[in-house]
Structure 1
């Protein structure tokens, strides 16, 4: 069963993301903050991470950059309540990060996971744009 690390400081978001992933046969490890998430990442093996960009007390991009220092092509879905995540394209260390805007539907999360874990060329992906049929 593929393992996913979910790092989000909002318990309701973590719970929803975890439920969707478990229904889709993923093993989920949850972390409520950046420090706990990075500790889990360093001590275990994961196939994917879902990281909130605005974590209490830190920036989710710092978490992503630390993950990418250890595993350069590690699949990551960045989630945020911001309206635009276009600035992700400007940072080479963040290439191939799949961006998903909150609030999102379970189908959008599932698609983001699929996009993040499939082989692709460099550049970020916007799940809602990639989905086409998902409003």
Structure 2
């Protein structure tokens, strides 16, 4: 079962991502800020991190850089409701990051995860999870 670190300062966004991922057989650890994320990252290993780019007190870019300094091949999905993410490909330390603009639908989240992990989750449940509502 893949382990995922979900970092977002909005509890409702973390909860919805966690629901979608648990339905798709992922193990989830949630963090509300960069400090909690780094502590979780130090305490355990993860197959994937889903990181909000706009976090209170820091930014997700710095968090991703720090995690990738420790685990260079960490798979990452960056999410943001306020920042365009298309410039990520220009930054070498942030390469191979899938990007999602909020709000996004559960199927879009699963496709982004599939893109970075390189496999198809066991099943898509867009209409079953949150009624297909955007996250």
Asked whether the two chains share a fold, i.e. TM above 0.5, the reply is yes
Is 1:20 matched with 2:20? yes
The root-mean-square deviation of aligned C-alpha atoms, in Å, is 1.2
Q: Could you tell me which residue of structure 2 aligns to residue 103 of structure 1?
A: 103
Unaligned runs of 5+ in 2: 120-135
Distance 1:64 1:105 in 2: 23
Matches within 5 A, 1:6-85: 6-82=6-82, 84-85=84-85
Partners of 2:76 and 2:116 within 8 A in 1 = yes
Q: Could you tell me which residue of structure 1 aligns to residue 113 of structure 2?
A: 113
For residue 25 of structure 1, give the secondary structure of its aligned residue in structure 2: coil
The alignment's TM-score, normalised by the length of structure 1, stands at 0.85
Partners of 2:7 and 2:51 within 8 A in 1 = yes
Which contiguous aligned blocks of 4+ residues in structure 1 show a shift greater than 6 angstroms? none
Q: Greater relative contact order (Cα 8 A, min sep 6): structure 1 or 2?
A: 2
For residue 20 of structure 2, give the secondary structure of its aligned residue in structure 1: helix
For residue 45 of structure 2, give the secondary structure of its aligned residue in structure 1: coil
Unaligned runs of 5+ in 1: 120-135
